[in-house]
Amino acid sequence: MKRFYGVTRDLHLYLGLFLSPLILLFALSVFSLAHAIVPGAARRPAIRTVGDIPIPAGVELLNGRELIDTLRPVLDSLGIHGEANFVRRFPNERRLLIPLTIPGREISIDLKVETRSATISERTTGVWNAMVYLHKMPGQHLANLRGNWLWLRLWKYIADGTVYLTMFVSISGIYLWAVLRAERRIGLILMAAGAFSFFGLVYALAR
């Protein structure tokens, strides 16, 4: 029993320290989400035009993830990377508008299929915007498109791992508290106060 307690205590401590930067990221981004604080969002974009782009034939006829996967080599040839949010079509003009997002940066590619050229707009949105983006992504929206950028797919696993490890740290913390008899009373009071605050707020919002 003592060995189990010691191992649990060490894991609780070191995993908590490992998680602290990620928890801090999620916590700070909540302030921006709750109060709409996104410094840098109004900065002007830098615009450039590129020609002679190797665009695959019939690309404008594709849809969904197939379209993104087909466009990815085109974007790589332009030195552009990021998560594609959607692709907007202009069939009569044979144009594709492709917004990409990198945490802290937004890129818009206006791709003209007929002339094999593109107008590229890049805007820096800053660290706060990056934290908000990572907090919300990959999310449940755009299920057929999300995760089309390698680094965002990796971030998905990091976010999942953060949740599982946070659950472990929370459960192990309750266990460590329960073992220490001297701390049981104050622990029960604090847990009761937390539960009352949470369920009271839920009740007030649901009325």
Of 81, 102, 124, the residue that ends a domain is 124
120 shares a domain with 51: yes
Q: What confidence score (pLDDT) does residue 22 get?
A: 86
Q: Is the pLDDT of residue 95 over 80?
A: yes
C-alpha closest to that of 148 among 158, 136, 138, 140: 138
Whether 74 contacts 56, CB under 8 Å? yes
Q: What confidence score (pLDDT) does residue 175 get?
A: 86
Mean residue pLDDT of the chain comes to 84
Whether 105 contacts 122, CB under 8 Å? yes
Whether residue 136 lies inside any domain: the answer is no
Q: Model-level pTM?
A: 0.73
109 shares a domain with 53: yes
Whether residue 176 lies inside any domain: the answer is yes
Whether 40 contacts 103, CB under 8 Å? no
Torsion, CA 68, CA 102, CA 19, CA 192, rounded to 10: -90
Q: Is the pLDDT of residue 86 over 90?
A: no
Average pLDDT over residues 175-193: 81
Q: Is the pLDDT of residue 207 over 70?
A: no
50 shares a domain with 32: no
pLDDT in tens, 12-68: 989 989 988 888 888 888 877 777 666 655 567 889 999 999 988 888 888 888 888
Q: How far apart are CA 99 and CA 112, in angstroms?
A: 14
Question: Quick one: pLDDT band at residue 117, thresholds 50, 70, 90?
Answer: very high
Whether 97 contacts 90, CB under 8 Å? yes
Q: Which domain holds residue 187?
A: 2-37+157-206
Q: Is the pLDDT of residue 203 over 70?
A: yes
Q: Which structure tokens are listed for 55?
A: 């665009």
Q: How many domains does the chain have?
A: 2
Q: Residue 194: CB partners within 8 Å, gap ≥ 6? A: none
For residues 192 and 37, the model is more confident at 192
For residues 80 and 178, the model is more confident at 80
Q: Which structure tokens are listed for 88?
A: 């907007």
60 shares a domain with 106: yes
% of the chain at pLDDT higher than 90:
20
Question: Quick one: pLDDT band at residue 143, thresholds 50, 70, 90?
Answer: low
